[in-house]
Amino acid sequence: MERKEYSTDELRAKAEHYCARAERCPLQVRQKLYQWGADGDTQREILAHLEEHDYLNTARFCRAYVHDHYLLNRWTVEKIRAGLYQLRLPNDDISAALQQIAESPQE
């Protein structure tokens, strides 16, 4: 089966829709763009567009990830930190997001 070829505008629209449905990190979007057939330059261009228009925000993603995995899934702080590092997110964003655990009242 042949893979459909998408124009840059189509890829941008698909990426916007993908990011609008849930919080995503740049690595997830890059992997999805690769699956859709985008080359490296196109991926960088689309990621820059998504960040510029606030579809992608690593700090916001980290906060959502910490919230979901700590409060809903009951992961440990160490496991959450490892998951965020694996997604290649900035250390500052990871530390700030994990700080919300330290500041939240214990249940």
Q: 68-99 pLDDT, tens per residue? A: 999 999 999 999 999 999 999 999 999 999 99
* 15 is a domain residue: yes
Domain of 63, in residue numbers: 58-103
Instruction: Place 63 in a pLDDT band, splitting at 50, 70 and 90.
Output: very high
* 92 is a domain residue: yes
Averaged pLDDT score across all residues of the chain = 94
For the entire predicted model, the pTM comes to 0.90
Cβ pair 62, 89 in contact under 8 A? yes
The strand ranges marked E within 1-107 are none
Q: Are residues 26 and 42 in the same domain?
A: yes
The residue type of 52 is E
